[in-house]
Structure 1
Amino acid sequence: MPNGGNEATARIKINKLLQEAGWRFFADESGPANICLEAHTKITTNDLDALGANFEKTANGFIDFLLLDQRGFPFLVLEAKAEDKNPLVGKEQARKYARAQNCRFVILSNGNLHYFWDLDRGNPYVVTSFPNPISVAGYQKVTPDPQRLIDEAINDDYIVLTQRPNYASEAGWRNEAERHAYVQANKLRFLRPYQLNAVHALQRAAKEDKDRFLFEMATGTGKTLTAAAIIKLFLRTGNARRVLFLVDRLELEDQAKKAFAALLSTDFHTVIYKENRDDWRRAEIVVTTVQSLLFNNKYQRKFSPTDFDLVISDEAHRSIGGNARAVFDYFVGYKLGLTATPRDYLKNFKKGCPATSDPREAERRLLLDTYRTFGCESGQPTFRYSLLDGVKDGYLVNPMVVDARTEITTALLSEQGFVVTFTDDEGEDQQQAFKQREFEKRFFSEKTNQLFCKTFLENALRDPISREVGKSIIFAVSQNHAAKLAQILNQMADRMFPGKYQSDFAVQVTSQITDAQQFTINFANNNLLGSGNFIPKYKTSKARVCVTVGMMTTGYDCTDILNIGLLRPIFSPTDFIQIKGRGTRRHDFFEQVFDEDLKAGVTDHQKRTFKLFDYFANCEYFEEEYDYDQVLILPRVSLGDDDGAGGGMREPTRTYEHLGADVLATIQEEAIGLEGMRVDRMFFDRFEDVVRKNDAIAKAVEDGHWDRVIDYVNREVFNKPEEYYTLDKLRRAAAVDRRITLREILEKIFGLIPKFKSKDELLEEEFSKFVADAKPTDAASLPAIKNYFKAYATSDRLRHIIETRQYTDLNTNPVFNSRDFRAVPEKYRTLIPAYIKDYVSLNQFLA
């Protein structure tokens, strides 16, 4: 394309981006014009069109966009470059012009790649849209001083000084005998040594001019308290005026708000965005879910890149996955990620391994992306405090693993699987094998579930005060499985503890259950279905076991949990770490005792461990070197009529083969376009109605429980005789040029995405991430780099050619030829394949 064409196209894009962000070339009902082309030059509509022809070559030199504030004073300089030039080439010229106009802010853009530059804060920052005038005006009120951030004195009472500024002079604190009771009564939160170390680690990183940080802290080590200290540090030192705290589940919004209110409300105001859509700007701390901001691209429509000076991502490993990372990267400023998933899971993975070859491969990609997003490409977080650190320091407890496998589960776990022999309709003997993934999905065994529950009850840790079964959480395969297990446990408890329980020993806590979220709160508060069943003066939940699927995996604090049952196979390291983490917190059971006489007979009231019942070798799968503390040899399981293949297991899926004659009566051909057949479109509409009307699906989507949603749809909606919905049929009905996922379909139905993105739109998004990461400086070669990126991501043949170095085959490759390859700078010929293997899922581009 001729240079003038590049300039005109860039100018058209820049004009549009400015107008979309609320800047005005002409006065309207919103106010006077606040864009000048070539400082103090007035223009007309015709001038604006004409200037697109060759805006870099005018009689007076470069034409700069000078953006004005509400009073009409110079506010922000926008330096525009042609599409084939890197915006950064105008950096020094823009700095000079901005200083001359007394402007603090600069935008550098070529229409495709944009940088926002705060001259007082350091380096230009890649943005995906232009900031709006109101947001930049607010951003201007913050005068950053990184040195204050670095020099701020932070001791263990940093949060306490906000909660109760004069605590040190009060009698309750000064009297050592009363101090513990004083701290408890006022709910004062002192930073533990490792939490203090985390804050100091961030200060050291800031001293090295870093603006992205990652804290890897084990579940139960107080990430929210640590985050509160970081928030106070930034707000107090003037390095932030507003903080965005991102969570990945709806129930965690309220939990985070309450925590920050208890810790920081004396100095700072916290709101949940969805409850304060019109006045969130009055708060210093805004809490929201990633899903809420993704809904209809709300983060772009309702927010400007400069609205928040610090963005914190809780459970960063989960909340920046997939398209959620776009939300996180959208905002300018400091970024902090909090995660409980250790980097150790990066070990022993083959780079570029196809996602289908190892169930953990998707997790590996997410981890790599997490570390890269937070500036920790080396795999070393800004601060790390592991479960072993917590145990060693006395803040956490390790589990006692109960590795319990029946003959059936052992067979399910084997390479061959559990093999079933049956006779088909033709009288022929057939065999079918089942794997652990199919337990309670296609393989059912009532006797196995009963054996699981019997083993659990006979070996569970007991409450040290009441001697009843300790409070427990059991994780089931599905909601249907959870219902079965709760029923079995209640029946067994009735026999083991006559008269003590009335079908309230075990409770199903899943999204299908009314008030399930309140059940989790009541369980933590020791009043689920009553309290003090064995000893009235001892406050502990009457219900002893919560049977769930995914509701109680993350962010759930219940310190007196003594048993966790894994009655399902787990393939996600994140899920495994989170589930195990429900039991790692320490607990003093005397906190629940209101009768001193009760205490006299208790020899050990401290929680020192918890039992982790593992029926599917999950621990072996994730931690092969783990030293198991206890292994139970279960009684031999009969494989007769009452179990295994003979009982409780559904008949294997069979196919029907029609052997009769048939004739072809008529034939005609019709080409179907991308819009698909009408019957397919109607099919999709009917599926949408079915899903929308399902309260269980709607609630789980709202809460962000995608594993449960997808599992439920696969079990309860797909392949039913009424409509026989399948994923393949829905894909055809959607008429998209790639293989969309079930999650995308559900996100579209519930308005979380406005439309299905085409293959090229996804490629553009991935390339934008690559550009933001690699920051290519040679803008002239950017089209060639993009062409290579897209071709490599979508062509198996090209990937094979590059990986095997059979470059002569490029001569006959229709997708990407030798001339295309030579146009790519040498550096990117290897950088792009390495980047795509590590960070880009190729499955999304399949047709």
Structure 2
Amino acid sequence: MDKKKLSERDICTKFITPAVERAGWDILTQVREELYLTKGRIQVSGQLHTRGTPKRADYVLFYKPNIPIAVIEAKDNKHSVGAGLPQGLGYGEILEVPFVFSSNGDAFLFRNNLKSEGVLEKEIALDEFPSPEQLWQWWEEAKGLTPEQARLVTQDYFNDGTDKTPRYYQLLAINKTVEAIAQGQQRLLLVMATGTGKTLTAFQIIWRLWRAGAKKRILFLADRNILVDQTMTNDFKPFGGAMTKIRNRRIDKAFEIYLSLYQAVSGNEEERNAYKQFSPDFFDLIVVDECHRGSAAEDSNWREILEYFSEATQIGLTATPKETETVSNTDYFGPPIYTYSLKQGIDDGFLAPYKVVRFDFDRDLSGWTPQAGQRDRYGHEIDQREYNARDFDRSLVLSRRTELVAAKVSEFLRETDPMGKTIVFCENQEHAERMRSALVNLNPEQVDKNQRYVVRITSDVPDAQDNLDDFISPRLPYPVIATTSKLMSTGVDAQTCKVIVLDQRIQSMTEFKQIIGRGTRVNEDHDKFYFTILDFKGATELFRDPDFDGDPVQVYQPGPGESPVPPADTDGAASREDGWDAGTGDDVTTATRKFYVDGVEVSVAARREIYFDAQGRPITESLKDYSRRTLTREFASLEDFLRRWDDAERKQTIIEELRREGVHFEALAHELGLGAHHDPFDVIAHLVWGRPPLTRRERAARVKKRDAFTRYGETARAVLDQLLDKYADQGVGQLEDREVLKLPDFRPFGTPLEIARAFGGKTEYEQAIRALEDELYSAS
């Protein structure tokens, strides 16, 4: 057998998999081939989207189904034994596994990061592959686990029989937490961005500790009814009859898993004593969901409960660790044991990226001063002073401003998706009602189709819960637009929300992150891949804060003799038992009268779309200057650019890498006056080196005119001609994606396999695509 003629997949099947199996690995339960670690970042182009290349490991080896322990990267036999090691090390770093192997079918290059045998790397024969027990023994020794600790660490997670493995970061969060508890840690904090599955992660942690008998009675605390009820019916459902919800003072001590609102066990004086019906040592484990909100309450509900059950192991879950000069939940729980940020989630493709459109109104910038003695709509004399953005919709209402916001929101929806779920965050309940009315008046055709096209969802609306349930349901089209103030800022799983409107001054980074989190979920079944933020009050200035998506920074430092528990914060609001905001944040009460002024003209002084660089920071210079600087750093010269473009096996890879660096080709082409039908190749060459640009259609026409593919048969030429049309319409990615052959335009030529045969086979088809790309760019 000539190994040089075998594909990478053949090498895996004939040499690598048998070697792993001979070493004692169970192929069905311990070996996962071609395991996708990420989904590929979602790239947004205008109203279209594509996905970047996902990260996929050839093999991930699991000691137990919940414990990844090694990675194998395979290459065909034309490569050296160790050619796959750099790639494998990258996957090993993602999974945080200590053992990485590379193979071309001749042998393995083994990287043992634990140096268990005194050497970092060595080549081993195919029949020398280590067994699961050997790798686990090395790792167990490196971690210093006792047999009892190892028993807990290796406890299986819940499996519903679907063989669905948690995402890599969920596995890391679960395993790190269980391991820390096994080693005696009592206070733990998990920081995971909204939409990344905190509750599912918490369930698996609890399940493993419970099934292992390490934690027998567990309390799960949340701050809203909807969170508790969703948790019981969804992620926690496998606990079945062992689980109950604490309802006010009705406490049954016969269960093992308890779910409760903070307020159900620590509300008024009578309720506050409810949790004391349990002895202080009743619970072995307490998990606090959204612990930043409880820490913000003035009566510090969760802290009081945790201090009472101080002997229990306690885990805090949050998307937004609370760190201010006076408040810190990391001081209570300690530094996060694991952090998975919004930026990581977007980069991996698990969370939706966002576009930001900011509107600056002239009155917000210059303010407004009433004439002496001027009265408002209701005949009240307006206090004589200058009113600015800080006052609008709080102490003074300019009706034209409300109408203009509603007009811009309606205009955006009409131009994109009139049925796109939209949340409008207002200053207070009264502002939310005025905004609802303005949106109804501007969308009469939609409201005629369904009266619930626009609704207000605030705590003072009788049917707010029903509207909220329907709004967050992916299956139900109505309501479409929800106006709110604080109620929907957290704990609302709005999977299909496509637009977040900010007509609210937001000073709190915690609140800002929570609001942005309403749009970060991806729902591919309902075409939700990204979302747009429409900002009318400059709230997105918080993106410029270096701590927007960074690691939490410890600020609170207790002095000598002071409690390690930081004082209560007033930045948020507690919630009543019914799960609605208690009122401290959902409306504004002021000692002064609110004035309503009609007839004051308001206009848009500036509208701009905000773009972000590779680190997720807003680009503050012009897009042209930023892109030119980035591209000049990437390519030393025009010749360097042309050479690298020509050498690239996939041009789309270069395009995606530059997008990740913050080069926004569509917006850049618009700024350069080129339009949407220019290839990124031409955008780059024109911007940096002043080369005359061609449209994609012009490039395709040149190739057709040269009749460059006479050596192919009739079917193959027809396929290439159709591919040129696809390139002209949508770009080079269409040439490099084999899925394009499944489109209706190619059905007359047969299946993808039959099309490849028209060229002589799969390899010959790929060579023809490369030749086609050479022809497209040869004139350059």
Structure 1 length as normaliser, TM-score? 0.45
Structure 2 length as normaliser, TM-score? 0.49
